[in-house]
Amino acid sequence: MKLLHTADWHLGKRLYGVDRRDEAVAALAELAALAADERVDAVLMAGDLLDRRVMDAEPLGDTLRALEALADTAPVLVVVGNHDDPGLWTALAPYLERRRIHVAGRARPPAEAVRTVETASGPLHAALLPWPDPGRFVADLGEAVAETKRSYADQVARVLALYAEEVTRRQAAEGGAGVLVAHLMVDGAVGGGGERELTMGITYAVSPHAVPTGLDYVALGHVHKPQAVPGVAVPARYSGSPMAIDFSEDNHGKTACLVHIERARTTVREVALEASRPLVRLRGPLDALPGLAAEHPDAWFLCEVLLDEPVLDLSRQVRDRVPGVLRVEPVHAGVEAGSAAPTAAPGDAPAVSVAEQYADWYAVRGRPLGDALRRALAEAMAAAAGSDTA
C-alpha cells in the first residue's frame, strides 16, 4: 500500500502583508500531481489546513478544491490542527465524506476515531487524532470529568493507546494496513520556526514512548520541518509544510512523504516540493545585496543590511536594488541584531542616563528623538520616580 503524507498547509497566511495565494495553490496542485503520478492508495493530511480559525472565503475555497483534487486519486483522511476551526470542519465533514474526504474535527472515542477505508490495495485503518485542545479534549471524548485530573500528556498517551488497540483489532479481523494520523507535538522534534510558539512547549508535548507500537506508520503534523521523530518505536514522521511559512523556515527544504507499506515493512521517501517561491535571508552591505540576491532567482528576501552609519530611507534603497524583498533590517557596526547590552556591575553608576540611552537608540535607528517624545519620557520617568518613593 502506498500513502501520501502531508500537513501544515496554512492557507491564507500572509507574509509581511504579501498575499501568497498563488504560491499556495501551486504547492497544493504539486501535491495532487504527485498523488496521481505515484498512484497512491490514500492521502493522509495531518492538520492545519488553514492559517486562522476565522478565515476568508478564498483560502477556504482553495483548501476544499485541493482536497477534492487529491480525492480524485485516492481517499483522503484529514485531522484538524490547532490553527483550524474544529466546529467548521465538523460541520463540513458529512458533505466531504461523499467526496472520499474523511475529516476528524474533534477527538472521538476509539470506535468513531478509527476510520476504515477501502483502497486499491486493501483496507486502510486510520486512527484520526485532531489537535488535542486541553480545554476540550476530555469532553470531546465523552469521558467523565474525573479524567481531567490526568496531566495533558497522560491523557493523550492513554487515548493513543486506545486508538491503537482499535486499529489492531480491525487489522486482525479484516487485514490491511494500520496508521495513526495526528496533529501533535512529540517531545524531541525540532521546530521549523514558523509554528505557533505557544503550542510548541513542554506543556503540549507528549513523550515519544506515548506513540503506540504495532502500527505500520504514524503521520504527524504541527512541526514544519520535515523529520523522523526520535525515540519512536514505529516509522513516524513529520512531513513538514509544503511551502515555507516565514523566514524562520529558510534553513530546510519543503517535502511530502511517500509511504510504502508491504508485508509489515514500511519505507518512507521524502519528495521535494518546489512550486512555491523560496524564502531567503540575505546579509551584507547595501551595495552587495543585488549580487547576493542574484544567486536566488524568484525568491522572497529578508535583507539584513550591514551599516557603518544610519541611512535615511533605507527600505526604499534596498527595494530599489533587490526585487522581491519583503523585510529590511538594519544591522549597525558594533550593534549585532539581538545582542544584549553590557550589564553594569553591582553598585556601578550607569555611564549615561536613561534619557540619553533612549535618544541614542533613536539615533541608531536613523530617527532623531523629537522634543515631544523627549518631554513625554521625562514626565514618565518623573512619575515613576515619584511612585517608587511613595
The residue ranges of every structural domain in the chain are 2-272, 278-339, 350-390
CB 186 within 8 A of CB 160: no
DSSP-derived letter for residue 351 is S
Separation between Cα atoms, residue 379 and residue 387, nearest integer Å: 12
| Listed residue (102, 104, 77) closest to 6, CA to CA | 77
Residues 6+ apart with CB under 8 A from 255: 226, 239, 240, 270, 271, 272, 273
Separation between Cα atoms, residue 31 and residue 11, nearest integer Å: 14
> What CATH code is assigned to 2-272?
3.60.21.10
Furthest-apart CA atoms within the chain: distance in Å: 80
Q: What angle do CA 199, 214, 230 make, to 5 degrees?
A: 45
β-pairing verdict for 279-285 and 300-307: parallel
| Listed residue (26, 14, 32, 44) closest to 274, CA to CA | 26
Sort residue 324 into left (φ over 0), alpha (ψ -120 to 50) or beta: left
Pull the grid cell for residue 386: 515619584
Mean pLDDT by 10 residues, the chain (390 residues): 97 93 96 98 97 89 98 98 95 97 95 96 97 75 58 89 96 96 91 55 79 94 93 93 90 91 92 94 95 94 94 93 94 62 48 68 64 80 66
Pull the grid cell for residue 49: 489546513
Pull the grid cell for residue 113: 476515531
Q: Which helix (H) or strand (E) holds 45?
A: strand 42-45
**pLDDT tens, residue by residue, 315-374:** 999 999 999 999 999 998 765 544 444 444 444 444 556 777 777 666 655 567 777 778
| Mean pLDDT rounded to a whole number for the chain | 87
**pLDDT tens, residue by residue, 290-305:** 999 999 999 999 999 9
Pull the grid cell for residue 335: 550593534
Residues 6+ apart with CB under 8 A from 306: 283, 284, 285, 331, 333
CB 51 within 8 A of CB 11: yes
pLDDT for residue 202? 58
Pull the grid cell for residue 293: 540576491
CB 10 within 8 A of CB 241: yes
CB 144 within 8 A of CB 40: no
Environment class of 327 (CB within 10 Å of its CB; exposed 0-12, middle 13-18, buried 19+): middle
CB count within 10 Å of CB 251 equals 12
Separation between Cα atoms, residue 28 and residue 7, nearest integer Å: 11
Q: Any bridge partners for residue 116, and if so which?
A: 125
